[in-house]
Amino acid sequence: MSGDEIYGTSGFVHNNVTFNIPSRSYDQRFTYTDEYDVQPLEFIAVTGTEADERNKNVSRRIRSQAMRNYVWRQNHPTTTDEMAAAAAVPLKVKSQQKYEGKFRIGSRPRKTKKPTKVKLAILESITTSESEQDQDVRKALLRYSKWSIRQSLMPDKNLLMRKGANSDPFNAFSFPMGPESEQFIFYYQKHYAVNCIALNLSPDCWYFVREELALFHAVLYLVSLDYNMKYGLIDSPGSLFHGREAFRLINEAIKDNAIRDTLIAAVSLVITRENLAGKFDLAKIHMQGLQLMVHQRGGIQNVESIHRNVITWADLCYSNIWDCKPSFPLLPLKLTGTEAELPTGMKSMTLSPARTFGSGSLINSIFRSLRRLSIAFCPEYDARLDGSSMSNQIYSVEYDLLTLQNINLEALNASEYLSSSSVLMNIAAYIYLYLILRELPVRSKIFHTLFQRLRDSLEMQDTEWWNLAPERQRWLLWVVFMGYGAASEWDEKWLFVERMEPLGAALMLSTKEELRSAFQGVIWHDRCEEFLEKLWNDISHRKGTKTDS
């Protein structure tokens, strides 16, 4: 069939034979008069990129055809089994014109009712305090907010467009939506707390849904965990649905020996989800399968870069939990732009890790990178780092932290062990990376594991060494603050509050602003303010309890 539009024919297909029925040309409303008592099935050919106005005409023709088919079925009930019983009842022939408004053909817009006096008074009270530009913006938001929300929920071209390809205009590809699915999609696009750059979950992940439906379920399986944790849940019906579908589709692809990059990314997201949920044994089983799949692809370097970051994040997180080496080697990094430098005002108030832990300490470069990343994530500073570079730097810092952690595990004699202070700072830096930069949910069992390690390491510290200089006490105060942030959703947080009280008294920190200034001298990010507020409330509550007793 050519790309020309067909105006003079309508037809239908029966037993693989096409019947063309003569018909009249379209009028301006693209409708037929009632004298043509046929069931119209028209073929409309659309090729190439269409203009907006032409797309509207095609849409109107499709609606016109649907209306004519509806009217014809109403006037010929005997042709269907469902309406055969009504065949004996005399029917009044229904006109097509009656249904033009229902199918939005040639109908006029409805007149809007004038608001009541009360509503007018409210509207006037609001608009009097706004400028004309603000009013236009507010009205535009009110007019399009409902459509924008609905558009973000629907599996439309926002989710299915890839490399300029248009989505199916007839929505032939339908998403297998389960309970709470629309809530999870909306939450991912509007309120998902996990930073896509830091988590290495690309915003383009929806574009691969057509070729890998398991990826769609894996993403929502991960997002649903963050959504449910805010309400104290883990396995809601919607989360279980997407998890079950992800497992089923992954197993089917493995049976067919179809190891695609998108499938490997789906398995990686499942591993990340189980790690965050504290199901470390399940994550270990999935990790073994991921290693085999990557090996079958010829190594991590052969996986497409947009999916590679998801795999490396799952690998590093798993290795941290199980105290083992990463499964995949360190990838070469490509940084674009200049690294973010500390603002001049912050350099003077920032503590030097080399002066406290020695110029040869491996922790120095890690804290230097964490500080630069913290500045890069703050919008008020000119970070001069794009999203890819920040993601690569986070990957590099976590790889260094894991390497430092494995040094003690591989030490053969006492001289090779790291100092207890280096181990403590390594754990605290890990918490900062996960809590502040990667923005993992605070209720995640990963933080339960990390603050327990930090608590045990604090018990092994040389108290006299830390109390020898105020600068060391400020570093220790920040470490305890990180432990409190990781334990802020558990009862163990009071252990860190108790440890912080003597340090604050020794440094003469008696207000929340003084605490903030002390923490800013080590590392600070705007998200730390949330945990500082919780800490100050708990300190005030503890003081009030002591006073009452």
Residue 476 has pLDDT above 70, yes or no: yes
Average pLDDT of span 358-377: 90
Q: Do residue 404 and residue 350 come from a single domain? A: yes
Confidence at residue 523, expressed as pLDDT on a 0 to 100 scale: 94
Count of domains for the chain: 4
Mean pLDDT of the chain: 75
- Total number of residues shown for the chain: 549
The structure tokens listed for 338 are: 């200049």
| Cβ-contact 448, 485 below 8 angstroms | no
Q: Do residue 420 and residue 308 come from a single domain? A: no
**Is 493 part of any domain?**
yes
pLDDT digits (tens, 9 = 90+) for 306-317: 888 899 999 999
Residue scoring higher pLDDT (374 or 67): 374
Nearest to 194 by CA among 159, 219, 218, 165: 219
**Is 416 part of any domain?**
yes
**Is 104 part of any domain?**
no
Buried b (16+ CB within 10 A) or exposed e, 170-188: eeeeebebbebbbbbbbbb
**Is 3 part of any domain?**
no
**Is 207 part of any domain?**
yes
Locus of tokens 């089917």: 252
The radius of gyration of the chain from alpha carbons, rounded to an integer in Å, stands at 32
Q: Do residue 522 and residue 429 come from a single domain? A: yes
Q: Is 390 exposed, middle or buried (0-12, 13-18, 19+ CB in 10 A)?
A: buried
The structure tokens listed for 505 are: 């008294």
- Alpha-carbon gap, residue 139 to 157, rounded angstroms: 26
The Cα-based distances of 94 to 79, 103, 149, 275, 452 in angstroms read 17, 15, 38, 63, 76
Q: Do residue 84 and residue 230 come from a single domain? A: no
Q: Do residue 383 and residue 529 come from a single domain? A: yes
Residue scoring higher pLDDT (160 or 270): 270
The structure tokens listed for 261 are: 């990059």
The structure tokens listed for 445 are: 């069992």
pLDDT band at 103 (very low <50, low <70, confident <90, very high): low
Average pLDDT of span 386-394: 81
Domain housing 126: 117-153
Helix (H, G, I), strand (E, B) or coil at 495: helix
CA dihedral 146, 151, 154, 159 (to 10 degrees): -160
Residue 260 has pLDDT above 70, yes or no: yes
Q: Do residue 532 and residue 426 come from a single domain? A: yes
- Alpha-carbon gap, residue 515 to 523, rounded angstroms: 13
Q: At what angle do helices 132-153 and 181-190 cross, to 10 degrees?
A: 140
**Beta partners for 18?**
13
pLDDT band at 29 (very low <50, low <70, confident <90, very high): very low
Residue 142 has pLDDT above 90, yes or no: no
**Is 111 part of any domain?**
no
Q: Do residue 217 and residue 278 come from a single domain? A: yes
pLDDT digits (tens, 9 = 90+) for 397-422: 999 999 998 887 776 676 667 789 99
pLDDT band at 120 (very low <50, low <70, confident <90, very high): very low
pLDDT digits (tens, 9 = 90+) for 31-88: 444 444 555 555 665 555 444 445 667 777 777 777 777 777 777 765 454 555 555 5
Q: Do residue 369 and residue 515 come from a single domain? A: yes
Q: Which pairing describes strands 9-14 and 17-22: parallel, antiparallel, or unpaired?
A: antiparallel
DSSP classification of residue 437: I
Locus of tokens 């952690």: 405
Nearest to 249 by CA among 261, 267, 232, 237: 267
Residue 161 has pLDDT above 50, yes or no: no
Please report, for the chain, how many H helices and E strands are present, in that order. Answer: 22, 2
**Is 33 part of any domain?**
yes
pLDDT band at 106 (very low <50, low <70, confident <90, very high): low
Q: Do residue 481 and residue 363 come from a single domain? A: yes
Read out DSSP for 249-290? HHHHHHHTT---HHHHHHHHHHHHHHHHTT-HHHHHHHHHHH
Q: Do residue 315 and residue 210 come from a single domain? A: yes
Helix (H, G, I), strand (E, B) or coil at 18: strand
Residue 141 has pLDDT above 80, yes or no: no
Average pLDDT of span 258-285: 93
Q: Do residue 192 and residue 89 come from a single domain? A: no
3-state secondary structure 469-481: CHHHHHHHHHHHH
Instruction: Break the chain down into helix, strand, coil percent, rounded to 5.
Output: 60, 5, 40
Confidence at residue 521, expressed as pLDDT on a 0 to 100 scale: 93
- Alpha-carbon gap, residue 528 to 436, rounded angstroms: 7
**Least confident among 145-159, 349-363, 456-470, 532-546:** 145-159
Residue 154 has pLDDT above 80, yes or no: no
Confidence at residue 305, expressed as pLDDT on a 0 to 100 scale: 84
Q: Do residue 310 and residue 431 come from a single domain? A: no
Residue scoring higher pLDDT (433 or 177): 433
Average pLDDT of span 246-259: 91
pLDDT band at 183 (very low <50, low <70, confident <90, very high): confident
pLDDT band at 5 (very low <50, low <70, confident <90, very high): very low
**Is 501 part of any domain?**
yes
Q: How many CA atoms lie within 13 A of 183 on its CB side?
A: 14
